Amino acid sequence: MVRKIAICSQKGGVGKTTTSVNLAAGLAMLGHKVLLIDNDSQANATTSCGIRQQDVHLSLYDILTKPDQKPDPVIRKCRLDTLWLIPASGQLVSAEIELIREMGRELILKEKMEEIEERYDYVIIDCTPGISLLVLNALFCCDEIIIPIQSQFLALEGIDQLLHAVHVIQKRMRHSIRVTGIVCTMFDRRTKLSSFILQQMTSLFKEGLFETVISVNTKLAEAPLKGNNIFEYAPACNAANDYMALAREVVERGNRDWKETYCRSDDGLAIKPGVQFAEENDTLKCKMESLKPLISAVMSIDNAKASELEAKTEKPQEEGAPEVPKSVSDTGGSAAPSAMEEENILWG
């Protein structure tokens, strides 16, 4: 059965597109049939697949705004054998306005996908930041979401709004959607701030956090400029290893028995993967309350302090340098500060 996963976050620039493109490519490299949907008018995922804007004649915009537009003519084959793309174009920005009077406008993508989705093993949707009509279309279309969080200042800003939106969709709209996991992106082992944020995320999300950590790597920023994913651009680099590890973890999480493994949420703190927010209890409320102090602890680092922490650089990270931790459990040593060190890190 197809797994449909939206990559979203309230915040911009946290690695949604990079994760969508390279997770989709990683899954395809593992032999799965993958459809990547570019749901952002910036069309960065489209460019990363080597498709230039002037070559996009049909796009997601047409699927969403034209009742008779079938997805098939819009779908483009990518270079990888089992990877396809629904491209975006700048026109997508006007879709929200054009659909304003449309009944059931948040369900259009879900309905259009129904006729083709079973051809694929995975559908990955790259979303814009925030909760727009385009993002709602992705959330209603998908059964799962992955939330990238950048290991930087104000990392957790907005995550409560996103989880609240997921809750509302679950409960009021009766659409089953679960958080597959939260992935820490742009982890920079040179800064103590990055390690501190990762440690906070580990204690906050527990099993909800993917073990794979995506490290900062300039090759990830260069690859889209060449219209490549990381496996095409620099297959031997650490970033390719990171995204392959993430793809394997996503596959593995899908094999788990969600209900048995993850739906028990008695500590009220961890956002567990697969948690059913529509449960008839106050678990979510309890979780949101528990999140607040931790979120504000991270957010209470002021700008000056954040710059100071970021400036405490150990040494430049180089390709071929010792591996950055692939797993949050590996960060217990020098990368992640102990609770005792935490105060020093925060307050100098």
- The binding site for ligand ATP (CB under 6 A) comprises 12-18, 40, 44, 129, 185-186, 214, 216-218, 220-221
Characterize 59-83 residue by residue with b for buried, 16 or more Cβ atoms within 10 angstroms of its Cβ, and e for exposed.
bbbbbbbeeebebeebbbebebebb
Question: Closest Cα to residue 159, out of 149, 167, 151?
Answer: 149
Would you say 17 or 199 has its CB closer to Mg ion? 17
Question: Closest Cα to residue 192, out of 301, 318, 329, 321?
Answer: 301
Would you say 82 or 152 has its CB closer to ligand ATP? 152
DSSP string over 165-204: HHHHHHHTS----EEEEEEEEEE-TT-HHHHHHHHHHHHH
Q: Does 41 bind Mg ion (CB under 5 A)?
A: no
Q: Does 3 bind Mg ion (CB under 5 A)?
A: no
Which H or E element spans position 288? helix 283-299
What is the DSSP pairing of strand 76-77 with strand 122-127? Answer: unpaired
CB 237 to ligand ATP: min, Å: 11
Q: Of 3, 4, 11, 16, which lies in the binding site for Mg ion, with binding defined by CB under 5 A?
A: 16
CB 20 to ligand ATP: min, Å: 8
Q: Which does 13 bind (CB under 5 to 8 A by kind): Mg ion, ligand ATP, none?
A: ligand ATP
Stretch that binds Mg ion, among 16-24, 25-33, 134-142, 336-344 (CB under 5 A): 16-24
CB 18 to Mg ion: min, Å: 8
DSSP string over 86-139: E---GGGGGHHHHTTT-TTGGGHHHHHHHTTGGG-SEEEEEE-SS--HHHHHHH
Residue 145: strand pairing partners: 6, 179
Would you say 44 or 194 has its CB closer to Mg ion? 44
CB 17 to Mg ion: min, Å: 3
Would you say 218 or 344 has its CB closer to ligand ATP? 218
CB 13 to Mg ion: min, Å: 8
Q: Which residue is nearest to Mg ion (CB)?
A: 17
Would you say 284 or 335 has its CB closer to ligand ATP? 335
Give the CA distances from residue 240 to residues 47, 233, 234, 344, in Å, rounded to whole numbers and listed in that order: 18, 9, 7, 34
Q: Which does 214 bind (CB under 5 to 8 A by kind): Mg ion, ligand ATP, none?
A: ligand ATP
| Site residues (vs Mg ion, CB under 5 A) | 16-17
